[in-house]
A and B are shown apart, each in its own frame.
Chain A
Amino acid sequence: MRLFLRLLARNRLALAGAVVLGFVVLLVLMTPVLPLAEPNITNTADRFQRPFTPGHLLGTDHLGRDLLSRLLWGTRLSLAVGFSAAVIAATIGAAIGIVAGYFGGRTDNLIMRGVDMLMAFPYILLALAIVAALGPGLMNALIAVAAVNVPFFARNIRGITVGIAHKEFVDAAKLSGMGHGRIILSEILPNVLPVIVIAMSTTVGWMILETAGLSFLGLGSQPPQADLGSMLGEARAALITSPHTSVVPGVMILIIVMSINLLGDGVRDALDPRLRSGALTRPMAATLVDRDSVPEPSGDGILTLDGIETQFHVGDRIYRAVGGVSLSVGPGECLGLIGESGSGKSVTALSIMGLVASPPGVITGGAARYRGRDLIGMPYRELRRLRGDRIAYIFQDPLATLHPLYRVGDQLAEAIRCHHAIGRAEAHDRAIELLKSVRIPNPESRARSYPHEMSGGMRQRVGIAMALANDPDVIIADEPTTALDVTVQAQILSLLNDLRRDRGLAIVFITHDFGVVAQLCDRVAVMYAGRIVEEGPTAEILARPAHPYTSRLIDCVPELGGGRRELAAIPGLPPSVDDLPAGCAFAPRCDKKQSSCAVGEVALKPRDGRAVRCLYPDWRPA
């Protein structure tokens, strides 16, 4: 709750809305005690006084009533009506939506058909007909406005509920012995509530407008009672002669509705977990770069990373996802980058071509050089020319990383046409060749498929084909087989291995699986908490890990054929990268920890073609 208020307060527009609305609400709450003229006292001789006439700050209406007083009393009423209509519509609509969404099946079908019917009915006419049937009056207008909005709430809430009803915690509640009613109340409702509040807060303004609309048609409040809509409706006859009588309530509606909408947007933003985590900010075309200095080139590979540092700036927290990673890969070489989730291996890979989502990502240091040219901070135009052409990526989940609405052939052709001015037909032929080269059967017909029509393995072959489209020098493969079944994984790995050998590709292969690294990579770098802790030839590291983390991580992995057994585990959790301990990040979990481990920076010390970031490495003879 406090977080919610703080987020709300941080949104300046929402704050402005809240201030204006708060002022209006305060004003109308104080209205009964303010020294105002009676709102309903007519003095026809004094009618249509202009604003700022003495005694009538905003002038008078067609019956000589004080506009300021009527405005405040009217606002009071309109706010109350708009708010109650929203609450009523939200309550009933949500109840219907939750029932339909939770029970599903026939109940859902029946209810949603009814909702469809009401939605097909032109809503103003429905409201009009309801008011005509009930008789005019603000109360009836409220009922009508609420009633016509029920279907919209019902539909919205149903959608959300369906999503929640299929969550595992609902199943868990069932298994814990809860009945339907209790599940709806204690499991579903609390999760739908924010959505209801969001929908409501964004609807209050709309409700005020709609009630005003009904009053405009003459079906609102009973005279002499003022509400903003009826004030506008009554003043309309004098629009041309005395526009101020229309403008005053009109502008008030505008102010209220606008401030409510601003506040509503703020509430939505603050309640939406995606916004809270910054997940609804637009990532820029290339990651922001904010580095003080450019380090000297160190390695001589085709792609060299020198002390890459990438951070995520979320609110006032700084997550040091990558804390100075240096790597180098040569042609035909496969470098494995291994680590657990959160170790920074993927962010390192994405930093190379500026693909870390930004905001919140910022590259704060280091250099990534392709054939000696620094990719970090390179002008966007040049960077784009290298992307996919010289350095290509293969991503983890091919269902999410291929565009769902384009045919795979077109996506391949596009990858080529981005860098080569060739015709559509030629690009298409190239695409089919590429599909063939990754051993996709029937490439001609497969080119016309959409990603969702393919199996995971086929999709990943398309992903690989796309990376190969322009014969790149370097491929960065970010956990390309993690989402796949083992049998398919084996096929993909062997395909990648063949391609690398045939084409002399440099591959940076990111994974969490030692088995995969062992089979594919020449060298491996182990990451922990954003840094490389150990690096060297794969076979040597697997056989004789020097860093305690490496060695214990290898022990954790159950190997097939070992039978039933107790597994080695590492106690504790990796540190959070926004709160790294001083010294060695692994020290708190390490059983060889000394007091010196927690002091000062631990450097990556090279030795015999290997390197290790440990004060007490375990060098075992071969």
Chain B
Amino acid sequence: MQLMDWTRRSLLAAAGAGAMALGLGLPVQAQTPPGVLVVGQIAEPKALDPAAVTAVNDFRILMNVYDGLVRYKSGTLEVEPALAESWTISEDGTEYTFKLRDGVMFHDGSAFNADVVKFNFDRMLKEDHPYHNTGPFPLSFFFSAVESVDVIDAQTVKFKLNAPYAPFLSNLAYPTGLIVSQAAVEQHGADFGRNPSGTGPFKFAEWRSNEAVVVEKNPDYWDGAASLEAVVYRPITDANTRTAEMLAGGIDLMVEVPPVALSEFQTDAYRVSEQAGPHVWFLILNAKEGPFADKLVRQAANYAVNKAALVNDVLEGTAEVAAGPTPPAFAWAYNEALEPYPYDPERAKALLAEAGMQNPSVTFFVTEGGSGMLDPVAMGTAIQADLEAVGFSVKIQTYEWNTFLGEVNPGLEGKADMAEMAWMTNDPDTLPFLALRTEAWPDKGGFNSGYYSNPQVDALLDEARTATDQGRRAELYKEMQTIVHDDAPWVFVANWKQNAVTSSKVDNFQLEPSFFLLLKDVVKN
């Protein structure tokens, strides 16, 4: 019958088309060539202009394309010479004079010298600089202490600070201090971010929007040429897709592996690297009002949260329990004597009873994700469960990251008793200075959203910032940590161990405590 014929015909056609669609992919082998490393990034970079970006994700590219005057010594957070061969600091700590490396060329062929250094900092800091409009430069306040940059001679440059500022060198090692080519900025203007030129081991080759940023080996690198021929950075925002790509062989190196996916990579085909970094994950407690105005209640919260379970189970061991406000990665400033609050619900209950609190009810701001926030919703949920177990009544309010910051940074007063927060810093000064001093309350332009105030801590931090001697600074920080630990303005939860997975073809890969991704010595077979 006719009817049968045509339906069969069309079904056949449909089946054929379906088979073709499947057949398309049969011989896919997601192999990447040797010598080319494909890195799975978490997002498209904003720009490749180090002065203009803020995200760790972008730093992972920039650190391989540019050099700064100084850099962190491998495996530590201590500075060592880079484009500057050496430096001297004046007695009062307000003048830094750098001797620059000779014969370094930018990828665009222009020479690196003192004028370029001055150009770099003036561009960022001087509003009347002809290239200031190539910004904005959101992190320029890292160098807000710089009063002037003076060219002494072609190979010598002097920074004048308006006050002693101990973290200055450390900030220079931060990506915001990377040196860009003056010629390239002059040539491309605001488009420099897409046409970058630095002195680093890799030079920029190509940026295919939303697909890849490709950098190639700089054979003339002053510190010895890289082993890789090229690096491809692929932005893959979704962690799951990133994991799938890694499993399917589409990328060689994956950063920020979701904790739950780690178990997939426990085979010979992959290598998992870990490195604790200058990161601390904590809960801001509102010390101004509500139950947490009472120190006993704050301590009770610290006892109530099962931090070991959080880092081992929720975060699958990708973090360690934090003891205080300073992460152990700042080894020289870290107080080894500090012990984390143990998980002790009974003690917490006792403290609550002592404070006279019956079922204190608290509002808890949780974010959905954000820089360094690990797995904030799961963490928040688990913390809520822990707190409720000792008698708190916790109401969670979740915010998407930017709204969250908009709610938390102006202070928790009148809104919440508790908020998640995480910081990654490059100097032990940064976090406590910005978030624990009385002078850093939100209304004074700081990040002390929980209104913690202790004059002793204020004094210690002020002194540490101006001391030029690292030994002295270490003492001051250690004392500060002891006091803060006891005052418990935060619930100290975790220090993140950054992780990365590489395929077995990748050798010589190592994560840095700075969380930067340095690929110069990496080999891919």
Contacts and interface: CB of A to CB of B under 8 A. Distances in A.
Given A44-B313, A63-B314, A63-B378, A238 B261 contact: yes
A135 B403 contact: yes
Contacts of A237: 239-240, 258-261, 375
A585 to B, nearest CB: 39
A236 B313 contact: no
Nearest to B375: A237
Interface residues of B, number: 38
A62 to B, nearest CB: 6
| Residue from B1, B309, B310, B375 with most neighbouring chain A CB atoms (10 Å) | B309
A224 B385 contact: yes
B381 A42 contact: yes
Contact residues of B: prevailing secondary structure: helix
Contacts of B263: 241
Contacts of B2: 380-381
Interface stretch (A101-109, A215-223, A306-314, A599-607): A215-223
Nearest to B407: A135
Given A222-B398, A239-B240, A44 B310 contact: yes
Interface string A226-241: 0000000010111111
A42 B382 contact: yes
B368 interface: yes
Contacts of A63: 313-314, 378, 381-382, 385
A40 B377 CA distance: 13
A223 B398 CA distance: 8
| Residue from A44, A234, A240 with most neighbouring chain B CB atoms (10 Å) | A44
Nearest to B312: A44
B273 interface: no
Interface string B365-379: 010110000010110
A381 B2 CA distance: 9
A224 B396 contact: yes
A490 interface: no
B377 A223 contact: yes
A240 B398 CA distance: 26
Contacts of A285: 3
Contacts of A223: 366, 377-378, 380-381, 384, 396, 398
A45 B313 contact: yes
Interface string B252-270: 0000001111011000000
Interface string A127-164: 00000100111000000000000000000000000000
A242 interface: yes
B403 A241 contact: no
B370 to A, nearest CB: 11
| Residue from A48, A219, A237 with most neighbouring chain B CB atoms (10 Å) | A237
| Residue from A42, A241, A242 with most neighbouring chain B CB atoms (10 Å) | A42
A491 to B, nearest CB: 39
A294 interface: no
A237 B366 CA distance: 18
Interface in A189-232: 218-219, 222-224
Contact of A238 (B260, B368, B403): B260
Contacts of A137: 398
B243 interface: yes
A610 interface: no
Contacts of B368: 136, 218
B190 to A, nearest CB: 28
Contact residues of A: prevailing secondary structure: loop
B338 interface: no
Contacts of A135: 397, 399, 403
A472 B446 CA distance: 97
A218 B239 contact: no
B243 A240 contact: yes
A41 interface: yes
A285 B375 CA distance: 63
A240 B244 contact: yes
Given A224-B385, A240-B244, A64 B398 contact: no
| Residue from A63, A137, A223, A242 with most neighbouring chain B CB atoms (10 Å) | A223
A239 B368 CA distance: 18
| Residue from B263, B313, B396, B403 with most neighbouring chain A CB atoms (10 Å) | B313
B260 A44 contact: no
A56 interface: no
B377 A240 contact: no
Contacts of A41: 385
B400 interface: yes
Interface string B390-420: 0000001111100100000000000000000
B247 interface: yes
Interface in A19-48: 40-42, 44-45, 47-48
Given A132-B403, A234-B377, A241 B396 contact: no
Contacts of A381: 2
Contacts of A238: 258, 260-261
A242 B399 contact: no
A234 B366 CA distance: 14
Nearest to A42: B385
Nearest to B258: A237
Nearest to A246: B240
B19 to A, nearest CB: 26
A64 B310 CA distance: 12
A136 B369 contact: no
Contact of A236 (B240, B369, B399): B240
B378 A234 contact: yes
A533 B260 CA distance: 86
B260 A241 contact: yes
A285 B2 CA distance: 10
Contacts of B1: 380
A234 B399 CA distance: 15
A41 B385 CA distance: 6
Contacts of B398: 136-137, 222-223
A240 B314 contact: no
B110 to A, nearest CB: 44
Contacts of B380: 223
Contacts of B397: 135, 222
Interface in A371-396: 380-381
A595 to B, nearest CB: 53
A40 B385 contact: yes
Given A237-B258, A238-B261, A242-B260, A219 B385 contact: no
A285 B309 CA distance: 71
Contacts of A42: 381-382, 385-386
A62 B309 contact: no
B400 A241 contact: no
Interface string B223-266: 00000000000000001100110010000000000111101100
A331 to B, nearest CB: 32
B32 to A, nearest CB: 21
B316 to A, nearest CB: 9
Contacts of A234: 377-378
Contacts of B313: 44-45, 47, 63-64
7 closest Cβ pairs, A-B complex:
A44-B313, A238-B260, A42-B385, A223-B381, A218-B368, A44-B309, A224-B381
8 contacts: A40-B381, A41-B385, A44-B382, A136-B398, A137-B398, A237-B258, A238-B258, A380-B1
Interface of A: 40-42, 44-45, 47-48, 62-64, 132, 135-137, 218-219, 222-224, 234, 236-242, 285, 380-381
Given A42-B385, A223-B366, 20 more contacts: A42-B386, A45-B309, A48-B260, A62-B314, A63-B381, A132-B400, A132-B403, A135-B397, A135-B403, A137-B398, A218-B377, A222-B396, A222-B398, A223-B398, A234-B378, A237-B239, A237-B260, A238-B261, A241-B260, A241-B263
